[in-house]
Amino acid sequence: MKIYVAGHRGLVGSAIVRAIEHTGEHTWIGQTRQELNLLNRSAVFEYVAKERPDWVIIAAAKVGGIHANATYPVEFLSENLQIETNLIDACHAADIERVLFLGSSCIYPKECPQPIKEEYLLTGPLEPTNEAYALAKISGLKLIEAYRKQYGHRWISAMPTNLYGPGDNFDLENSHVLPALIRKLHEAKVDKKESVTLWGSGAPRREFLHADDLAQASLSLLENYDADMALNVGAGEDISISDLAQLIAAVVGFTGKVEWDKSKPDGTARKLLDISKMRAFGWNARIKLEDGIRNTYSQFLESKK
């Protein structure tokens, strides 16, 4: 199969490329942002029509943590809507056989029974700090669902939990919590600080999935799944942000004190996905959190050389 990976240089896209290359059964294509601006609708249509891939994986998106989402809601809503509608509509125009749209677990209501089942989507208000991004992702998976209903396309969606891994974004202004903690605690170690102050209370619980595990799940879904429901993809267990910080501190070698600025927002109290439907396929995450953090930290150190 010829697979177009939209966003192939990002955290998720690069992991999917590694998984495709490892299979030896498929080939992949992709374009950098300079080569193909996904906000340019006509250019996206032209590229997909020209290349006519068998499968398309939509891993491209404007992403960021709580601070970035709260500061730039227009960009997070508008740009993500444009990226996904341009790609999905172009795939319809080119009659692409299989499309996988990757959403996000932030699409679920802020107050949600745990673990979160796929059926809980749109049953309550969203978390305000990332509402714009969540609305865009909900729109994307609903557009996939609409194309299935109206045109019979064998297209699917998946909703991954919090992701991390090689190629992550370590920018303190717009990164997610795990890479941000790696950088903060590493710099605290290098600067020989006696303590480091982190956002929030440390009490919220989060689930983390290595990008390589999501990549394997993505290929498995394209090969085996064909139904309306967007499936959860997660690790099946969560950890408090406080315990995560201690785990990362141990990995990077920071021995100082971790303190918490409780004036900063925590976000959703807990977010753990029910992955029973994915497990029914025989799929399970393979990379343990500590091993994944060590792998990610090694890549971070390499990037600083």
What are the catalytic residues? 133
> For the chain, how long is the longest CA-to-CA vector?
61
Burial of 175 (0-12, 13-18, 19+ CB in 10 A): buried
What does the H/E/C string look like for 3-31? EEEECCCCHHHHHHHHHHHHHCCCEEECC
Selection from 178, 187, 188 nearest residue 208 by Cα: 178
Selection from 174, 185, 168, 160 nearest residue 244 by Cα: 185
First CA to last CA across the chain, in angstroms? Answer: 37
Burial string for 230-266 (b: 16+ CB within 10 Å, else e) reads: bbbbbbbebbebbebbbbbbebbebeeebebeeeeeb
- 232: enclosing H helix or E strand: strand 231-233
